[in-house]
Amino acid sequence: MVMAINGGFPGPNITAKVGDTVEVELSNNLNTEGVVIHWHGIRQFTTPWYDGTASVSQCVINPGQTFLYKFKVDKAGTYFYHGHYGMQREAGLYGSLIVEEGDQGQKEPFQYDGEFSLLLSDWWHQTVYQQEVGLSSDPFQWINEPQSLLINGRGQYNCSLASLPECSLGGGEQWAPNVLKVLPNKTYRLRIASTTSLASLNLAIGGHNVTVVEADGNYVQPFSTTDVDIYSGETYSVLFTTNQNPDENYWISVGVRGRLPQTPQALALVNYLPNHASKFPTSPPPVTPQWDDYNRSKAFSNRIQGLEGTTPPPPADYDRRIMLLNTQNTIDGLTVWAINNVSLSFPPTPYLGALKYGIKAAFDQTPPPDTFPDCRYDIMSPPANPNATTGNAIYTLDFNSTVDVILQNANTLQPNDSEIHPWHMHGHNFWVLGYGDGKFQRGDEKLFEKAGRRPPLKNTAVIFPFGWTALRFVADNPGAWPFHCHIEPHLHMGMGVVIAEGVEFLADVPRETLSCGLTGMMFSGNGEEGHN
Ligand SMILES: O=C1O[C@H]([C@@H](O)CO)C(O)=C1O
């Protein structure tokens, strides 16, 4: 089962220029469920209600209804859009969103002759409904590894290996990879975005190095590499030059890292013209690096640095430091993820409207903890007391304050096990100050304040197994914003927090985003609560 947009999958590519106002009319033609679409990486400054996150920025759009998203794109870069309700992203609700530099404004700090967009995803044969039931069951049923990886919606699967009733293919059929038609001795830009539900990926082009120039819509200090790690929620632009033997075609391969792979690589073809696209490459697809070579992954992540001359992070005045301990726990026999022992459960009234109109009953008003429940927490072992609680309280930040976040990874419920989690923040970019191993200790900030390194701006950053990642951002965007693990089943299992700042500076929230929960009652005249 796939969720399609305008009858297609993935959804249409959206291209805009800096300064444009993008308007998207979303009609919900699903028969039985609501829908929203999130514009991943777009800041939504002054329009937080169009961020497209159910329970946070708006009520879901009901079957048969139409909703108009209208927002300004203020930063050139590679982005994408996707469903942000339940696990609809995994069901296929996504597409690419590219913002080009405007005609007047800034010029890109690099040049190229042509570009291609590669939207990477992963694919399961089970529906997201079956998966959601399994995740919310006792005993817990994990979704396991994907059946295929997809590049722009296309992948490979050897049907002859499966005993699935829908598999009537013999195994020798042709499949149609994406073909990137190139001319020799030119430079091309690949815009790569990962909207995977689970998989951490690595991309390489046979015989060609690539130069990384952009990450999450921010220019980075260019560096050359044989391959690129890309975690769910991240985007990169890389340049490559077609300087290899022009009589050949070459494979692009995308494979799984960070979890024991059980999924074939996705392939695309670099077709040097005038060769025919059916000319099979003589060299095999690049081999994906060993899935658990985390030193290699860390080395790659550490190479991402801000472009020389771009804004450095403000100094550490520690207006606020929030430590977020990531743990796998149980609640009433269910397996969940918790942050500082709280597993996020979204409330029926979206936070933005609740905050704007002072509806205190909409969510728990006791702030969640700013640090671990117990500072002696042993991150190297399964939780001594695996029980967590559910909650929906939020982190309220002082407007324009500088906030440091330390994301601390830990052991899961199984001994000797800790997993990758790419954390994505809505409404902001953050500087990735650094990555460390083990438990963050007071003074470890020295590690990431060492001279010479320019922390990159990103909207998604990974935490490595048994490690920590330190981020800094300025709370300068009025609104309510999710900050969560971008692995879809993990968010479903509660792995996220909500931050809010400056809501008092916003104009009235559009009514059409408020039609559910307590705001719905308030604006239909049945509400108990008043307007503040
Ligand atoms: O959330 C998860 O659950 C499983 C495993 O930890 C328990 O089965 C897994 O691999 C996850 O990422």
**DSSP calls for 54-94:** BTTTBPPBPTT-EEEEEEE--S-EEEEEEE-STTTTTTT-E
Question: Are the C-beta atoms of 431 and 392 separated by less than 8 Å?
Answer: no
Question: Are the C-beta atoms of 392 and 346 separated by less than 8 Å?
Answer: yes
Intervals of the chain under pLDDT 70? 160-175, 318, 448-452, 525-532
The two three-digit tokens of residue 144, written as one number: 């396991």
**How far is 347 from 367, CA to CA, in rounded Å?**
15
Q: Quote the ligand 1 centre to 469 CA distance (angstroms).
A: 21
Q: Which residues line ligand 1 (CB under 6 A)?
A: 142, 328, 412, 419, 490
Closest to 149 measured CA to CA, from 235, 233, 228, 253 = 253
Q: Quote the ligand 1 centre to 143 CA distance (angstroms).
A: 8
Query: Given the CA of residue 337, which atom of ligand 1 is nearest to it?
Result: 1
Q: What is the pLDDT of residue 444?
A: 85
The reply to whether 110-309 and 320-519 are identical in fold is: yes
Which residue has its alpha carbon closest to ligand 1 atom 5? 142
Q: Quote the ligand 1 centre to 495 CA distance (angstroms).
A: 12
Mapping DSSP onto H, E and C, the string for 236-283 reads EEEEEECCCCCCCCEEEEEEEECCCCCCCCEEEEEEECCCCCCCCCCC
Secondary structure class of 303 (helix, strand, coil):
helix
For the sheet with 334-339, list strands across it. 389-391, 342-344, 334-339, 320-331, 402-408, 467-474, 430-437, 457-458
Indicate whether this complex's ipTM tops 0.85: yes
Which residue has its alpha carbon closest to ligand 1 atom 1? 490
**320-519: CATH, from 2.60.40.420, 3.30.310.50, 3.40.50.1370, 3.40.640.10:** 2.60.40.420
Q: What is the pLDDT of residue 176?
A: 81
Secondary structure class of 354 (helix, strand, coil):
helix
Which residue has its alpha carbon closest to ligand 1 atom 11? 142
Which residue has its alpha carbon closest to ligand 1 atom 7? 142
Query: Given the CA of residue 490, which atom of ligand 1 is nearest to it?
Result: 1
Partners of 271 in beta bridges: 181
Q: What is the pLDDT of residue 374?
A: 87
CA 402 from centroid of its chain's CA atoms: 23
Q: What is the pLDDT of residue 106?
A: 80
Partners of 98 in beta bridges: 15, 78
Which residue has its alpha carbon closest to ligand 1 atom 9? 142
Q: Where are the domains of the chain?
A: 1-106, 110-309, 320-519
Query: Given the CA of residue 419, which atom of ligand 1 is nearest to it?
Result: 12
Which residue has its alpha carbon closest to ligand 1 atom 8? 142
As assigned by CATH, the class of the 1-106 domain is mainly beta
Mapping DSSP onto H, E and C, the string for 127-144 reads CHHHHHHHHCCCCCCCCC
Give the pTM. Answer: 0.96
Query: Given the CA of residue 487, which atom of ligand 1 is nearest to it?
Result: 12
As its CATH architecture, domain 110-309 has Sandwich (2.60)
Residue of 334, 412, 488 to test ligand 1 pocket, by largest number of atoms within 8 Å of CB: 412
Residue of 87, 144, 196, 328 to test ligand 1 pocket, by largest number of atoms within 8 Å of CB: 328
Give Rg (Cα) of the chain: 23
Q: What is the pLDDT of residue 116?
A: 98
Q: What is the pLDDT of residue 269?
A: 97
CA distances from 303 to 215, 224, 455, 460, 525 (A): 12, 10, 10, 15, 56
